[in-house]
């Protein structure tokens, strides 16, 4: 396997050249003839009864083509728990509730029309604190469930309860026990390209839907269900991706604006585009799930973890998207980060009148890792053990089966921790309490797919053209991480072509085979595995052609030479060297006998075989094409929330050195080292890009970012007040790739899309403690919080 030509190389992202010349077509540029522009009117209240809506004035505005409210479209429920409708009737339950929508010939006219819609509300008491909302006498956010049955509580009927071993007994037997609370905020994914879509029906009511979704077949299914429910049964749906300006989780679920766009297209019989403003992106798109944890951990006197008990409360907001399912990933670090035999975890999702949440890079892992990894430092201190040593004592090992049933295959966690220790100068800098300090945190994440749907598979279809181009049709998507380059490298390696020969077509349900979606750090692993297998089939087909055609070509050439030179004596050639595909190899576009790689007559450029053997010959014309659908051998979580839901797991460690200004509470990151187990780096430059980018979001999570919600309303819905770090906030990040090829991965690769984000924030919190001796357990760690904690300690 070491003799790889394309895997492991820093192949440039040439396939995306349009992104540097300004010619890439994002949803912003996607245009259709006669296209209209949709805009949405949102609620003015966190909780209110809609007394009346008057759209007459808006309808009369020149250029307006449609104005719709909940009363104009079928009353059909959508979403994961079916707890909302597309446009709200009667009651609004959050500020971002969609009340009406307009389609007009320009976005400006649509915007003006919104201002002409008159809505009369009767405000209702709203509830914003999930703890209050859990109380038995709390006012209900929803009176009934999706099927109209009365609800008695704001607590969602979700099964997030996990238990392994005997936590109570283990607690009693523990030498040291720590318990603390942490809270994490809503985080906006902040895709630079805002959300948008274009919906277009043909005269048969078949829908072509251009959307940024990362899960084109999932979106297709949800839209098909919706269309069926509104009376459009059996209609064909084609979902297409434009170039996508970032996702970070936002493109997993099908959002309400998308259904609105479809309704406007249906109503107007025209293509309709909705594209969010930045303010909408902040206020009307579900962010990362906010959470509160109580975590208790114990260890014995040698420092071996004995138990971990975690209770989480998630503010679900008014409706349910993927935010409510993040406990399925929170379980991952809680049950399986480090060896811990007894684990209990319970997550309670509570309806409130706040904004609701969805996926973001890392899913629930960053939240849970913040709880687990700060607790590790607290416990290490109590046990009198260096936190790095404490992590090494409890580290996972290859071959472990964790309490959740995860089967750990490769696991270079020890190397990750030690690399960070060395690079951050741990032993030299730790424990000074002089305003500077170091901290670390580790992570475990799915890296071999994630069986969250019944299918976790990806299909890859490859065809080779007679001109030597390799077309790859896939139902996957790319949101900027560089998947086309990575898949091209894998296919080039597997087929024997070069990456530049490979043409990747992503994001079209009509062309690609099913894919469970580009999410959960699964694409390189799952699509890569399908690609390797499909590539090998292609290679086999070409070698079969070569067995027939190399002798023909050689004989023809010898004849020609004889013609030119009558004295030429043809050599005696051993054709048994190439009489079976097994005896041939195809590498870097050259076909040659394995026994004689430099054979002067048999070594043939693949293009010659293709022109000679492909699509020609009466009655024996051939095509070279293959398709493989690969679904990893994994399990869905069972009723006890157990199961090996990924083929392999990625580990990693972040180490941070900080300087804390004791007078202002400001924290400066002097160095961040992020060492990640990637199995094998298919493209090291791209892998580093994933680590750097994720780590930077992690720093924001740790120090500056939060969606500020005051009485249900987002008050910092812009880039001035939502503090994404800039290039000037020069934080030296070192990404370290730890390679330990995984037998199940394509050429040994594991997924690396999300991990970089996960350990960053807890590593910062731990470093701050090392620097100045205060624990900030609620993110983000603002100067106010640090200074207040220092003052409370009398510093």
Partner 1 sequence: MKAYDYHKPHTVKEAIDIMGGLENAKYIAGGTDVMVLLRQGKINPANLVSLRNVAEISRIDTQNGIRIGAGVTHTQIANNEFIREHYSALADGAGVVGSKQIRNVATIGGNICNAAPSADTACPLLVLDAEAVIAGKSGERQVPVDDFIVGPSQVALEKGELVTGFVIPAFGDRTGSAYIKHARRLAMDLPILGIAVRATVKIGGAQAACRDAFKLTDVSDIVKRLEAEGLVLEDVRVAMSVVAPRPVRARKAEEAAKGKTISEKVLEELGEIAASESKPRDSFRGEAWYRRDMVKVLTKRALLKSIERMTGASSMVAPSRLW
Partner 2 sequence: MKKEITFTLNNEEVIVEVDPKWTLIHLLREVLELTGTKEGCGVGECGACTVIVDGEAVNSCLYPVMEVEGKTVATIEGVALPDGTLHPIQQAFIENNGVQCGYCTSGMIMSAKALLDKKSDPTEDEIRTGISGNICRCTGYVQIVESIQLAAERMKK
Binding positions for partner 2, rule: CB under 8 A: 10, 12-14, 16-17, 19-26, 28-29, 189-194, 243-248, 277-278, 479-482, 685-686, 688-689, 692-697, 718-720, 724, 726-728, 730-731, 733, 735
Residue closer to partner 2 (CB basis): 217 or 248: 248
Is residue 787 a contact residue for partner 1 (CB under 8 A)? yes
The one among 89, 723, 737, 741 contacting partner 1 by CB under 8 A: 723
* Contacted entry of partner 2, partner 1, none for residue 695, CB cut-off 5 to 8 Å set by kind: partner 2
CB of 29 to partner 2, least distance (A): 4
* Contacted entry of partner 2, partner 1, none for residue 688, CB cut-off 5 to 8 Å set by kind: partner 2
Give every CB contact of residue 765 below 8 A, 6+ residues apart in sequence.
370, 374, 439, 702, 775, 776, 777, 781
Lookup: tokens for 171: 């607690």
CB of 27 to partner 1, least distance (A): 21
Residue closer to partner 1 (CB basis): 102 or 591: 102
The one among 715, 732, 743, 793 contacting partner 1 by CB under 8 A: 715
Lookup: tokens for 506: 């992503």
CB of 99 to partner 2, least distance (A): 23
* Contacted entry of partner 1, partner 2, none for residue 716, CB cut-off 5 to 8 Å set by kind: partner 1
- The separation between CA 499 and the C-alpha centre of its own chain, rounded to angstroms, equals 25
* Contacted entry of partner 1, partner 2, none for residue 663, CB cut-off 5 to 8 Å set by kind: partner 1
Lookup: tokens for 252: 């997993």
CB of 781 to partner 1, least distance (A): 12
Q: CA-to-CA distance for 739 and 419, rounded, in angstroms?
A: 12
Lookup: tokens for 715: 């008050």
CB-side exposure of 449: number of CA atoms within 13 Å?
30
DSSP 747: G
Q: Are 630 and 529 in contact (CB under 8 A)?
A: yes
User: Among residue numbers 237 through 256, which ones bind partner 1 (CB under 8 A)?
Assistant: none
Residue whose token pair is 């910092």: 716
Q: CA-to-CA distance for 618 and 614, rounded, in angstroms?
A: 11
Positive or negative torsion for Cα 599, 605, 606, 609: negative
How many residues comprise the chain?
Answer: 795
- Other CB atoms closer than 10 Å to residue 781's CB: what's the count? 25
Which segment (8-16, 29-37, 464-472, 727-735) binds partner 1 by CB under 8 A?
Answer: 727-735
Q: State how beta strands 305-317 and 342-351 pair.
A: parallel
Residue closer to partner 1 (CB basis): 343 or 787: 787
Number of helices (H) and strands (E) in the chain: give both, helices first.
19, 30
Strand partners, 299: 176, 305
Positive or negative torsion for Cα 470, 473, 476, 477: positive
- Other CB atoms closer than 10 Å to residue 227's CB: what's the count? 22
CB of 115 to partner 1, least distance (A): 9
Residue closer to partner 2 (CB basis): 644 or 683: 683
Cα-based angle 293, 81, 287 (whole degrees, multiple of 5): 50
* Contacted entry of partner 2, partner 1, none for residue 169, CB cut-off 5 to 8 Å set by kind: none
Q: Are 217 and 454 in contact (CB under 8 A)?
A: no
* Contacted entry of partner 1, partner 2, none for residue 696, CB cut-off 5 to 8 Å set by kind: partner 2
- Other CB atoms closer than 10 Å to residue 61's CB: what's the count? 17
The one among 384, 434, 784, 793 contacting partner 1 by CB under 8 A: 784
Residue closer to partner 1 (CB basis): 129 or 279: 279
Residue closer to partner 2 (CB basis): 84 or 479: 479
Which segment (255-263, 580-588, 728-736, 759-767) binds partner 1 by CB under 8 A?
Answer: 728-736
Residue closer to partner 1 (CB basis): 134 or 670: 670
Residue closer to partner 1 (CB basis): 528 or 702: 702
For 171-224, the DSSP string reads HHH-SEEEEEEEEE--B----SSPPEEEEEE-TT--EEEEE--S-HHHHHHHHH
* Contacted entry of partner 2, partner 1, none for residue 666, CB cut-off 5 to 8 Å set by kind: partner 1
Q: State how beta strands 196-201 and 207-211 pair.
A: antiparallel
The one among 708, 711, 732, 743 contacting partner 1 by CB under 8 A: 708
Residue closer to partner 2 (CB basis): 243 or 272: 243
CB of 22 to partner 2, least distance (A): 2
* Contacted entry of partner 1, partner 2, none for residue 244, CB cut-off 5 to 8 Å set by kind: partner 2
* Contacted entry of partner 2, partner 1, none for residue 775, CB cut-off 5 to 8 Å set by kind: none
Which class for 629: exposed (0-12), middle (13-18), buried (19 or more C-beta within 10 A)? middle
Is residue 716 a contact residue for partner 1 (CB under 8 A)? yes
User: Among residue numbers 608 through 667, which ones bind partner 1 (CB under 8 A)?
Assistant: 659, 661, 663-666
Q: CA-to-CA distance for 628 and 50, rounded, in angstroms?
A: 52
CB of 694 to partner 2, least distance (A): 8
Quick note: the x/- pattern for partner 1 over 103-142, rule CB under 8 A, is: -----x----------------------------------
| Gyration radius from the chain CA atoms | 29
* Contacted entry of partner 1, partner 2, none for residue 787, CB cut-off 5 to 8 Å set by kind: partner 1
* Contacted entry of partner 2, partner 1, none for residue 745, CB cut-off 5 to 8 Å set by kind: none
Contacts from 500-503 at CB under 8 Å and sequence distance 24+?
500/14, 501/468, 501/469, 501/470, 501/589, 502/470, 502/472, 503/469, 503/470, 503/471, 503/472
Residue whose token pair is 């971990």: 308
The one among 704, 737, 741, 778 contacting partner 1 by CB under 8 A: 704
Is residue 778 a contact residue for partner 1 (CB under 8 A)? no
Residue closer to partner 2 (CB basis): 244 or 707: 244
Q: CA-to-CA distance for 170 and 340, rounded, in angstroms?
A: 11
CB of 198 to partner 2, least distance (A): 15
Which segment (361-369, 604-612, 703-711, 740-748) binds partner 1 by CB under 8 A?
Answer: 703-711
Q: Are 38 and 109 in contact (CB under 8 A)?
A: no
* Contacted entry of partner 2, partner 1, none for residue 400, CB cut-off 5 to 8 Å set by kind: none
Residue closer to partner 2 (CB basis): 160 or 722: 722
Residue whose token pair is 């394509």: 746
Strand partners, 85: 77
* Contacted entry of partner 1, partner 2, none for residue 19, CB cut-off 5 to 8 Å set by kind: partner 2
Q: CA-to-CA distance for 717 and 720, rounded, in angstroms?
A: 8
Chain positions contacting partner 1, by CB under 8 A: 108, 659, 661, 663-666, 668, 704, 708, 710, 715-716, 719-721, 723, 725-730, 782-784, 787
């Amino acid at each position: 396997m070491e003799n790889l030509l394309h895997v492991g190389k820093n192949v440039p992202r040439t396939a995306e050249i349009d992104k540097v010349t300004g010619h890439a077509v994002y949803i912003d540029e996607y245009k259709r003839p006669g296209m209209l522009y949709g805009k949405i009117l949102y609620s003015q209240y966190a909780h209110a009864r809609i007394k009346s809506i008057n759209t007459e004035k808006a309808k009369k505005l020149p250029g307006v083509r449609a104005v719709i409210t909940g009363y104009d479209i079928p009353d059909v429920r959508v979403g994961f728990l079916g707890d909302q409708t597309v446009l709200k009737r009667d009651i609004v339950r959050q500020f971002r509730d969609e009340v009406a929508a307009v389609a007009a010939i320009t976005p400006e006219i649509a915007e003006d029309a919104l201002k002409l819609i008159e809505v009369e509300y009767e405000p209702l008491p709203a509830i914003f604190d999930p703890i209050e909302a859990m109380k038995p006498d709390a006012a209900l956010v929803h009176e009934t469930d999706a099927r109209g049955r009365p609800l008695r509580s704001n607590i969602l009927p979700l099964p997030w309860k996990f238990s392994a071993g005997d936590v109570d007994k283990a607690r009693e037997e523990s030498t040291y026990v720590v318990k603390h609370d942490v809270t994490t905020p809503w985080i906006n994914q902040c895709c630079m390209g805002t959300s948008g879509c274009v919906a277009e029906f043909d005269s048969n009511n078949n829908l072509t839907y251009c959307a940024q979704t990362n899960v084109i077949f999932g979106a297709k299914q949800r839209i098909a269900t919706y269309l069926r429910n509104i009376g459009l049964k059996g209609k064909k749906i084609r979902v297409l991706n434009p170039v996508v300006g970032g996702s970070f989780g936002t493109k997993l679920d099908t959002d309400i604006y998308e259904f609105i766009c479809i309704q406007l297209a249906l109503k107007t019989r025209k293509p309709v585009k909705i594209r969010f403003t930045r303010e909408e992106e902040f206020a009307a798109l579900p962010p990362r799930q906010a959470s509160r944890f109580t975590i208790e951990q114990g260890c014995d006197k040698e420092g071996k973890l004995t138990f971990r008990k975690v209770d989480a409360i998630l503010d679900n907001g008014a409706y349910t998207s993927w935010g409510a399912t993040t406990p399925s990933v929170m379980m991952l670090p809680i049950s399986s980060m480090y060896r811990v035999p007894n684990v209990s975890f319970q997550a309670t999702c509570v309806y409130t009148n706040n904004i609701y949440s969805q996926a973001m890079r890392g899913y629930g892992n960053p939240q849970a890792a913040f709880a687990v990894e700060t607790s590790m430092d607290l416990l290490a201190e109590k046990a009198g053990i260096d936190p790095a040593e404490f992590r090494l004592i409890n580290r996972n090992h290859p071959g472990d089966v964790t309490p959740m049933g995860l089967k750990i295959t490769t696991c270079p966690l020890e190397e990750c921790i030690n690399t960070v220790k060395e690079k951050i100068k741990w032993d030299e800098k730790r424990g000074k309490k002089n305003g500077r300090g170091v901290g670390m945190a580790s992570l475990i994440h799915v890296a071999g797919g994630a069986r969250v749907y019944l299918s976790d598979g990806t299909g890859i279809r490859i065809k080779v053209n007679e001109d030597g181009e390799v077309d790859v049709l896939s139902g996957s998507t790319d949101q900027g991480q560089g998947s086309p380059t990575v898949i091209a490298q894998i296919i080039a390696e597997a087929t024997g072509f070069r990456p530049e020969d490979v043409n990747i077509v992503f994001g079209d349900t009509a062309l690609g085979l099913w894919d469970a979606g580009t999410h959960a750090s699964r694409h390189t692993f799952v699509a890569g595995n399908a690609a390797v297998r499909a590539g090998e089939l292609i290679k086999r087909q070409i070698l079969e052609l070569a067995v027939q055609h190399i002798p023909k070509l050689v004989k023809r050439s010898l004849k020609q030479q004889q013609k030119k030179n009558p004295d030429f004596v043809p050599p005696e050639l051993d054709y048994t060297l190439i009489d079976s595909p097994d005896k041939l190899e195809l590498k870097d576009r050259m076909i040659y006998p394995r026994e004689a790689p430099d054979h002067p007559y048999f070594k043939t450029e693949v293009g010659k075989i293709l022109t000679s053997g492909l699509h020609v010959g009466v009655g024996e014309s051939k095509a070279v094409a293959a398709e493989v659908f690969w679904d990893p051998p994994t399990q869905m979580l069972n009723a006890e929330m157990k199961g090996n839901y990924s083929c392999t797991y990625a580990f990693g460690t972040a180490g941070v050195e900080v300087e804390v200004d004791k007078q202002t509470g400001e924290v400066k990151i002097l160095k961040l080292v992020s060492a990640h187990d990637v199995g094998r780096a298919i493209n090291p430059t791209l892998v580093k890009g994933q680590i750097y980018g994720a780590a930077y979001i992690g720093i924001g999570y740790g120090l500056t970012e939060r969606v500020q919600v005051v009485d249900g309303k987002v008050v910092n819905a812009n880039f001035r007040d939502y503090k994404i770090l800039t290039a000037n906030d020069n934080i030296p990040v070192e990404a370290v790739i730890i390679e330990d090829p995984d037998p199940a991965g394509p050429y040994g690769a594991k997924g690396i899309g999300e991990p970089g984000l996960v350990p960053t924030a807890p590593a910062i919190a731990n470093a701050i403690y090392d620097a100045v001796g205060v624990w900030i357990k609620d993110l983000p760690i603002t100067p106010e919080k640090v200074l207040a904690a220092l003052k409370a300690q009398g510093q």
